[in-house]
Amino acid sequence: MPALYILIPVAIALVGFAIWLFFWAVDSGQYDDLDGPAHSILFDDEDPMHKAGASQAQKTDEPTDNEEPPRA
C-alpha cells in the first residue's frame, strides 16, 4: 500500500509529460506534412520536375563521362 503513494504521482507526472510533449509536437509543426516524406522516396532525386530533386538537378547541369549531353 505505501508503494501506491509513490507510484500514483509518478504515473500522473508521466501522463502529464506525455500530453505536454504531444501538444509541443503539434504546435511546432511535426505533424504538418505526413504524406510528403512517404511519397518522396518514390521519386528519382535527379528528376528536375520533382521538388526534392530540383536543387540537386540544378547543381549537376554538366554531364558526366557516362551520360549523354542534354538535347535542345
Cα 43 to Cα 37: distance, rounded to the nearest angstrom: 11
Q: Is 63 helix (H, G, I), strand (E, B) or coil?
A: coil
| Residue 68 is assigned to a structural domain of this protein | no
Cα 26 to Cα 3: distance, rounded to the nearest angstrom: 35
pLDDT, tens only, 9-61: 999 999 999 999 999 999 998 888 888 878 777 776 666 666 655 555 555 55
| Residue 18 is assigned to a structural domain of this protein | yes
**Domain that includes residue 29, residue range:** 4-59
Q: How many domains does the chain have?
A: 1
| Residue 72 is assigned to a structural domain of this protein | no
| Residue 66 is assigned to a structural domain of this protein | no
pLDDT of res. 48: 64
Q: What Å distances lie between residue 72 and 3, 53, 68, 69, CA to CA?
A: 78, 21, 12, 9
| Residue 40 is assigned to a structural domain of this protein | yes
Diameter of the chain measured on Cα atoms? 82
Cα 5 to Cα 19: distance, rounded to the nearest angstrom: 22
| Residue 42 is assigned to a structural domain of this protein | yes
| Residue 12 is assigned to a structural domain of this protein | yes
| Residue 51 is assigned to a structural domain of this protein | yes
Write out the three cell numbers for 8: 500514483
pLDDT of res. 43: 72
